[in-house]
Chains A and B, each alone.
Chain A
Amino acid sequence: AIQLTQSPSSLSASVGDRVTITCRAGQGISSSLAWYQQKPGKPPKLLINDVSDLESGVPSRFSGSGSGTDFTLTISSLQPEDFATYYCQQFNTYPLTFGGGTKVEIK
């Protein structure tokens, strides 16, 4: 299985901060990477598909980049509603796998 390693596992940030989360794949996954946001007690929400394609309705402060094995999710200016856990997912190879998550907390 392709392991996805997210870092950091948690971070504290303030409203307005720029936040970057990284996701490293154990082998190349082309552009087959998605990012999700999950709030407590809720299902994950798809933010970004195919590395950098923003889903409809997702604020433009979210962006994704990367290729091959190294990927990033950036929140340009953190808003109160962005405090959540973020997961990356690869859909290039079975079994589909998720990163371990990055919890973004309020500083």
Chain B
Amino acid sequence: QVQLVHSGAEVKKPGASVKVSCKASGYTFIGYYMHWVRQAPGQGLEWMGWINPHSGDTKYAEKFQGRVTMTRDTSISTVYMELSRLTPDDTAVYYCARSVVCSSSSCYAGFDIWGHGTRVAVSS
């Protein structure tokens, strides 16, 4: 079946970086875009950006520009999200989620498949 499987929970110190992975299975990996969305404890959903697994192109939310890097390894159908210069405000569950193609100005659908999420805690 179609699924996205995340790497395990992380605990980081302020100022550190975290790299979270999301492995896709059950569909053509390069045929869909992959987004990252985070959710702080008890809070709503925040979109961070997407990666086109076929080309490696990325689009980041301005809020995270300079601090986030999304990459992929097509040989193992896995996308990665690295967030640097962590602060306690980055404590959240980080989800990968799939969508159909996006353009430079918009996307064309919502996110139909979500991973179970990776919990990242940032604390001194």
Which A residues contact B (CB, under 8 angstroms)?
A: 32, 34, 36, 42-46, 49-50, 55, 87, 89, 91-101
Contacts and interface: CB of A to CB of B under 8 A. Distances in A.
B110 A94 contact: no
Contacts of A45: 114
A101 B45 CA distance: 9
Interface in B84-124: 95, 97, 99, 102, 105-112, 114-117
A32 to B, nearest CB: 7
Interface stretch (B11-19, B24-32, B57-65): B57-65
A96 B109 CA distance: 11
B45 A91 contact: no
Given A91-B110, A93-B106, A94-B61, A43 B47 contact: no
A96 B111 CA distance: 11
A90 B61 CA distance: 14
Interface residues of B, number: 25
A55 B111 CA distance: 11
Contacts of A98: 44-47
The 8 closest A-B pairs by CB, nearest first: A34-B110, A43-B114, A91-B107, A95-B61, A98-B45, A96-B47, A49-B110, A46-B112
A83 to B, nearest CB: 17
Given A36-B110, A99-B44, A94 B105 contact: yes
Contact of A44 (B45, B46, B106): B45
B64 to A, nearest CB: 9
A87 B44 contact: yes
Given A43-B95, A98-B45, A93 B117 contact: no
B1 to A, nearest CB: 13
Contacts of B110: 34, 36, 46, 49, 89, 91
